[in-house]
Structure 1
Amino acid sequence: MKKTAYILFLGLFILTSACEKKDPFVDRVVAPLLFLVLDENGVASSGMTTDPSVANKISKDVTFSIKLLELDKTNILDHTKGIDSIAVTSLPISLSMRNGTKISDLVTDNTGKATLKKTWAELGVANPTAATTLLLSWTGTYKGVTFTKYSRIQGAN
């Protein structure tokens, strides 16, 4: 009897541990593109963060860009060629605050870049400070895959 209970317990343990669990912390669709957020000088924020951030002086208009690239992995196993980055042109992107307030619709140019220039007031910030942070949401569709990418604008002196 003990042997049967032991085998039954072991079988249940194996079955429950073998089930694939959905990750409760990542409910987003992975963007099918490389998404770079550029500051007003064209410097990309680190792509290693969930929310790429750019700093913008509070004394100036908010100016920043995104650059969208498709990664061609055809030659991934050839170390002399590697992965190629191809600019995604004429792609409509919708920019909004994370609370849903729409900011603008942008379209990427022939280099895969879309630039936004707005005053702080147009973005809903009457008196920006160095502590001002705007949480943004970029949404688009590429090759039938709808994606959303988050970024931040941080006020700077």
Structure 2
Amino acid sequence: MKKTAYIFYLGLILLATACEKKDPFVDRVVSPLLFLVIDDNGVASSGLTTEPTVSAKISKGVTFTIKLVELDKTNILDNTKGIDSIAVKALPIALSFRNGAKIGDLTTNDQGIAVLTKSWVELGITEPKAGTTLLLSWTGTYKDVKFTKNTRIQGAN
């Protein structure tokens, strides 16, 4: 009888420890937009990475270019139409360092693109070198949903 009780309690302990725990790394609100960061060569990030990194030449100013689109999934099951990308127009976005220091404000144009140019000195880097990295945060609100996207700009020759 004692052996059965021990097995029963062991089973309860295993059952209790097997409960699903909340994942501490994904307590985020899903962004209502696809957020693309465009580098100096006009190449956009895939939008699927958690923290896209784009390059900026150290020999000139840093140009921050983003493109914001909303994904219309109305026709997702129709293979002749699929998902549509709709440019988000006139959306204000704040750009800042991760420590909260503001760099500037941008507003998207009719194509969903916003551009801001700053010198390396204005960004606090007096002697930029290849590999210099800036950690950035972009914040805004779209359809009453606040979002933040973290990115990196890396200096290149």
**Fold match (TM-score > 0.5):** yes
Partners in 2 of 1:12 and 1:84 — Cα distance? 50
Q: Is the 8 A contact 2:40 2:57 kept in 1?
A: no
Partners in 2 of 1:35 and 1:86 — Cα distance? 12
Q: Which residue does 1:77 correspond to in 2?
A: 77
- Stretches (4+) displaced over 3 A: none
Q: What amino acid maps onto 2:145 in structure 1? A: V
Q: Which residue does 2:97 correspond to in 1?
A: 97
Q: 1:25 offset after TM fit, Å?
A: 2.4
Q: Which residue does 2:8 correspond to in 1?
A: 7
Q: Which residue does 1:49 correspond to in 2?
A: 49
Q: 1:24 offset after TM fit, Å?
A: 1.8
Q: Is the 8 A contact 1:55 1:154 kept in 2?
A: yes
Q: Is the 8 A contact 2:75 2:82 kept in 1?
A: yes
Q: What amino acid maps onto 2:125 in structure 1? A: V
Using a 3 Å threshold, how does the CA distance of structure 1 residues 64 and 40 change in structure 2: closer, same or farther? farther
Identity %: 67
Query: Normalising to structure 2: TM-score of the pair?
Result: 0.90
Structure 2: give runs of 5+ residues left out of the alignment. Answer: none
Query: Normalising to structure 1: TM-score of the pair?
Result: 0.90
Give the 5 Å matches for 1:15-30.
Answer: 15-19=16-20, 21-30=21-30
Q: What amino acid maps onto 1:36 in structure 2? A: L
Structure 1: give runs of 5+ residues left out of the alignment. Answer: none
Partners in 2 of 1:121 and 1:151 — Cα distance? 19
SS at match of 1:86: strand
Q: Is the 8 A contact 1:29 1:148 kept in 2?
A: no
Cα distance per residue 1:57-110 (max 9 Å; x no partner): 111111131001111111111111111111111111110001111000111111
Give the 5 Å matches for 1:28-67.
Answer: 28-67=28-67
Q: Is the 8 A contact 2:92 2:108 kept in 1?
A: yes
Cα distance per residue 1:16-52 (max 9 Å; x no partner): 4233x22122343321110000013321023342211
SS at match of 2:129: coil
